[in-house]
Amino acid sequence: MSGSFTDEQIRRYSRQIILPEVGGKGQKKLLASKVLVLGAGGLGSSAIAYLAAAGVGTLGIVDDDLVEVSNLQRQIIHGGNIGLFKAKSAENFVRSLNSDVDVVTYQERFSAKNAGKIIQDYDFVVDGSDNYPTHYLINDACVLEKKPCSHGSILRYEGYATTTIPQKGPCYRCIFKKPPPPGLIPNCQEAGVFGVLPGIIGNIQASEVLKYILGIGELLAGRLLCFNALDMSFFEAAAEKRMDCAVCGDWPLITKIEQKNYRENNSEECGL
């Protein structure tokens, strides 16, 4: 973005611009940035809301699900939109919140066929997916396309977040080498989820995006941040790049996106 801010923009972003680490230069970076959010569910809807509010210039939103009444306990941007595609519902929310934001929607399932094409034009990717195959697909596509990514996951009262910066630390496969056996981890529908939890983790993800774009603070690269809502505790686990990682290691086995590496299983988390 070039030129000066409008009077409305100065009023809208004043509390952000006044921060020494942001300023007018940082706000212009945000308005010129392009962020892709994969999943407009619990994690994604929270990230979308705050990224739009902060003035991220372009938000890409990928989701092929419809809004259901059971979503509304945690997916706060979809109120009144039951039966509408989540991507379209999210677009409507963003447009009503901040007209500065250009919204690009993809009412399709993120897959091995379209992964590289979708993410290639964005500066940062937010993983708000709800199952292990998609977590790995997002990670591998980001590594191969050299895109930074914030991964998040939630179940019951617990969640975690980490950020991966290609060629500068561990990727998702370095931390979670293999998915758990099918059936070991219940999904959200089976196990439930505390309604505020995706808001907490999704906003941590949004914070990582903003810090990366602004070039401030310390990211969760090489760190897995875990949260338990029942006892309100956070703890970190250190993560290191694995030389034998299948996608970012010294001798990668995955050099292109192929569907065989992302077979569906029943080990679904709750995110969408």
Say if CB 165 and CB 142 are below 8 A apart: no
- Predicted confidence at residue 130, as pLDDT, reads 86
Which spans in the chain are helix H?
7-12, 14-17, 23-32, 42-54, 86-97, 115-119, 132-145, 172-175, 188-191, 197-214
Q: Catalytic: 188?
A: yes
- Predicted confidence at residue 180, as pLDDT, reads 78
**All domains in the chain, ordered by first residue:** 20-262 (3.40.50.720)
- Predicted confidence at residue 267, as pLDDT, reads 39
Q: How many CB atoms lie within 10 A of CB 117?
A: 10
Tokens of 272: 């969408």
**Summary mean pLDDT of the chain:** 93
Q: What is the pLDDT of residues 127-156, one digit of tens each?
A: 999 889 999 999 999 999 999 999 999 999
Determine the 3-state secondary structure of 169 from DSSP: coil
Lowest mean pLDDT among 73-82, 148-157, 188-197, 211-220: 188-197
> Helices 86-97 and 42-54 sit at what angle, rounded to 10 degrees?
30
Q: What is the pTM of this model?
A: 0.94
Rounded CA gap, 97 and 118, in Å? 25
Side chain identity at residue 189, one-letter code:
Q
Q: What is the mean pLDDT of residues 178-193?
A: 73
Q: What is the mean pLDDT of residues 103-132?
A: 95
Q: Out of 142, 188, 245, 270, pick the active-site residue.
A: 188
Q: What is the mean pLDDT of residues 48-75?
A: 97
Tokens of 140: 């591998």
